[in-house]
Structure 1
Amino acid sequence: MAIANTVARKIGTLAAVGPRRQLLVVEAIGQLMRARLLIKTQGWTRIADTLGTMIPADAVPAMQPPTSPAEITTARLARQIGWAVGAVARFMPFRAKCLEQAIAVHAMLRARDVGAFIYFAAFPSDGRISAHAWLDAAGVRVIGYPVPRDFVPLGCFVPSPVSPL
């Protein structure tokens, strides 16, 4: 019964957000599926080649908040895309954690000619290494926040002129 109530509530929320956000949700589902498939079938080098140019995280210029009307509109779009991916990720029938979400958001932003910065960090935990990915675009934090405090940023993919995927 609880599952039925949750599903009904989510359907009600989706109906209430309007057609523009509904389309983003549908696109987010497709991009999360695509991201998961890429992770399962492609090597990391192939995926990394599509994300931009990797630079040290401390070499990334400080994020500048949007100021012009066009920048504010782009930032709003980036946040809406992040919302759509984050909203559906936990309901996907497969693992759709931070890496899948960052890849999905990156693809959705790239389709709209919006550059994105994907950060990667790691933290040794119980003899293993835990990792995290997050994404900034258009001067705003888009997905993967909050970043766990103990994670050490390793690098950042920055937009490059040609990104083939």
Structure 2
Amino acid sequence: MTGRIALARRKLASARRLGGRRVLLVAEASLLLLAARIAVALLPFRRVARWLGTPVSPAALPPPTPRDRPDDRATLVSWAVRFAVGRLPVETVCLPQAMAARAMLKRRGIAATLHLGVWRDHKAAVEADPDTPPAHAWLEASGQRITGYPVDPALVEVAAFV
């Protein structure tokens, strides 16, 4: 029991160092990551796709126009998702991360584009690294990289959601 109390004290001290606003962001990111992870694991993709946004052809997307200055809110969302991913008891890969960050950005009125890509040569990618997933998801907002970066140049973008 003493070990659990010590762990709880360390977690509380760590949360105090983050500050109230960041603790709430991490809590939001954690809940959304878990919800997205469950959805991806249990639902067919056509149902998950409804949460991703409006599908558009990647070819129809204009090139991202970087802002003069990054949006601080988007930067905080990106940070919160990355921070939460490292502390959850389950693995959350690129798609749940992109889904959670997109939901957080949408709540803040920030438009984002979720991209899905597959490997040009998945067999070669798996030979190079057996843990290579069949696809990858990444999220950007106004040219700002949110999740899933860097994107491997061997990926071909097959879908985008706005």
TM-score, length basis structure 2: 0.79
* Amino acid paired to 1:107: A
* TM-fit CA distance, 1:56: 2.6
Residue 93 of structure 1 corresponds to 89
Equivalent-residue separation in structure 2 for 1:12 and 1:148 (angstroms) = 38
Q: Number of residue pairs matched?
A: 148
In structure 1, the partner of 2:64 is 63
Gap runs ≥5 in structure 2? 1-5
For residues 77 and 129 of structure 1, do their structure 2 counterparts lie closer, same or farther at Cα, with a shift above 3 Å needed? closer
Match of 1:46 in 2: 47
Call closer, same or farther: CA 1:129–1:145 in 2, change over 3 Å.
closer
Distance 1:13 1:44, change over 3 A: same
TM-score by length of 1: 0.77
| Amino acid paired to 2:154 | D
Q: What is the Cα deviation at residue 95 of structure 1?
A: 2.1
**Distance in 1 between residues matched to 2:23 and 2:146, nearest whole Å:** 18
CA RMSD of aligned residues (A): 2.5
* Structure 1 unaligned regions, length at least 5: 159-165
Q: Aligned equivalents of 2:56 and 2:141: distance in 1?
A: 16
Farther off after superposition, 17-26 or 128-137? 128-137
Q: What do residues 45-103 of structure 1 show as CA deviations (whole Å, max 9, x unaligned)?
A: 11112222222323211111224xxxx57x21011111101111132222201111001
From 128, 134, 143, the counterpart of 2:147: 143
CA distance in 2, matches of 1:59, 1:14: 43
1:1-45 Cα shifts (integer Å, max 9, x gaps): xxx99xx5x866543332211110011111111111211222211
- Distance 1:145-1:13 versus aligned 2 partners, 3 A rule: farther
Which structure is larger by alpha-carbon Rg, 1 or 2?
A: 2
Partner of 2:30: 29
Q: What residue number does 2:159 align with? A: 155
Taking only the aligned residue pairs, the percentage that are identical comes to: 35
Query: Are the structure 2 counterparts of residues 144 and 126 from structure 1 closer, same or farther at C-alpha, using a change threshold of 3 Å?
Result: closer
